[in-house]
Amino acid sequence: MPPALFLGAAIASIGGPLALVSLYVPGAAGGAVSSLGLTVALAVVVFLVPLAIWLAYSERIASAGGLSAFVEAATGRTAARLHAFVWTVSYFLYLPYTVTYVVYDVLAVVFPGLTPYRASLELLVPAAIVLLVLAPLSAVLVVLSAVAVVQLALVVVIGALALDKTSGTGSTFTDHAGAATTGRGVAGVALLFVCLSLPLFFGAEVRGTSQAIRRGLAAAYALVASVLLFASVPLASVPPALRNADLPGVAIAQAYSGRSLAVTVGLASAASVAALIVLEYLALGRLAHWLLGTAIRPTLAAIGVPFIAADAFSLIDPDGFYDDLLRPSLIALFLSQLIVFAVFPLFRLRASPRRIPVAVALAAVACALMGYGLYTTITGAVGT
């Protein structure tokens, strides 16, 4: 895999980028949305800690096992198997319920005329995803990279429109909500970046291995963080009716440009989420290959059977299906990351004992962030 395609996959994995602005960030910021520039800037800084831990692991490990290979290097194969199980539960649940989200909560909102055809789309979308992941990896990543470029361009367009139509942006860097509310908003936004770990499962296939992985992850994060911050700054001044819409990016495009851009943003937002599904699917196949020794392509085909079957089952009660799977999926996601961060000092103890104090500090911050994600998922309302 050329480093450029790895970079494209890494960009697509962060949200995806358009979905962050168009769908998620205003809601994740919560009561701190009036200080969205400050909230996003601090979230970007906070997430440098988990990123630093992944990059440190990647100095020595480039494997199809991804995060589970990190755990194995720190604590051994048994703990890695446990981690792989938890991680697999998270993303195996994510695949079907996110298709439901795309069909019922994104496409059907952008195109109300699709409502009678939602059941058909609920089956066609996962079938199309299965066919895509069975294509040669390079071809799949070319598609995902192209989608990533389009996303970045549209994030800039939304930000520029909002900047042009709103008056003043300085107050977006002022804390209007208080430290506690802003802190929750910062953590909520930072947790949206967690899927940047997905490209790590391509580690064994990247040309240039560890160096290319580290550069790709860092470059992708810097690029997405920059455009996200640019777009987030004026969003604090956008009218609440637009910012709090079901699809904020689509509503802003509709209000400030017109139907054509709104449709483009809506379709690209759906593609943004679908690209993330594809990356998760590919990562699941590689983790199974690393753990069980199965061939990757037959494994991907096998995963497609329960994936499509689950989305067929969702037709009984799409809303209930989404709600029932979302919480356990997020619990498993944050728990799997918590394991990776918690054992990081053990990895440093084996590889570089002199760095233990820094490793402990990084692990503490990253574990606290994932712990917050677990706490809010278990005790409160959750969203994609």
Rounded to whole angstroms, the Cα distance separating 193 from 58 reads 18
What kind and span of H or E run contains 238?
none
Q: What is the pLDDT of residue 202?
A: 94
Rounded to whole angstroms, the Cα distance separating 273 from 15 reads 7
347 to 239, 308, 336: CA distances (angstroms): 48, 38, 16
What b/e readout covers 218-238, taking b as 16+ CB neighbours within 10 angstroms? bebbebbbebbbbbbbbbbbb
Q: Give residue 74's Cα distance to chain centre.
A: 25
Domains of the chain (ranges; CATH) run: 3-379 (1.20.1740.10)
Q: What is the pLDDT of residue 169?
A: 61
Structure tokens at 248: 């904020």
Which amino acid is present at 94?
Y
Q: Give residue 151's Cα distance to chain centre.
A: 14
Task: Give the number of residues written for the chain.
Answer: 384
Q: What is the pLDDT of residue 381?
A: 56
Rounded to whole angstroms, the Cα distance separating 10 from 236 reads 27
Structure tokens at 296: 């990757």
Rounded to whole angstroms, the Cα distance separating 377 from 93 reads 15
Q: What is the pLDDT of residue 167?
A: 67
Contacts of residue 55, defined as CB under 8 A and 6 or more positions apart, other chains included, come to: 214, 217, 218
**Which residues in 79-151 belong to E strands, given as ranges?**
none
Query: Shortest CA distance to 272 belongs to which of 144, 153, 160, 184?
Result: 144
Calculated CA dihedral for residues 128, 279, 78, 367, nearest 10 degrees: -140
What b/e readout covers 133-163, taking b as 16+ CB neighbours within 10 angstroms? beeebeebbbbbbebbebbbebbebbbebbe
For the entire predicted model, the pTM comes to 0.92
CA atoms within 13 A on the CB side of 8: 20
**Within the chain, which residues score under 50 in pLDDT?**
383-384
How many other CB atoms are found less than 10 A from the CB of residue 178?
A: 11
pLDDT digits (tens, 9 = 90+) for 277-298: 999 999 999 999 999 999 999 9
Query: Shortest CA distance to 63 belongs to which of 184, 203, 250?
Result: 203
Query: Shortest CA distance to 190 belongs to which of 344, 46, 383, 382?
Result: 46
Q: What is the pLDDT of residue 170?
A: 62
Rounded to whole angstroms, the Cα distance separating 164 from 131 reads 42
Q: What is the pLDDT of residue 384?
A: 47
CB 144 within 8 A of CB 12: yes
Query: Shortest CA distance to 41 belongs to which of 23, 63, 25?
Result: 25
Terminal CA-to-CA distance of the chain, rounded, Å? 30
Rounded to whole angstroms, the Cα distance separating 303 from 377 reads 27
Query: Shortest CA distance to 191 belongs to which of 35, 20, 6, 355?
Result: 20
Measured over all CA atoms, what is the biggest interatomic distance in the chain, rounded to whole angstroms? 62
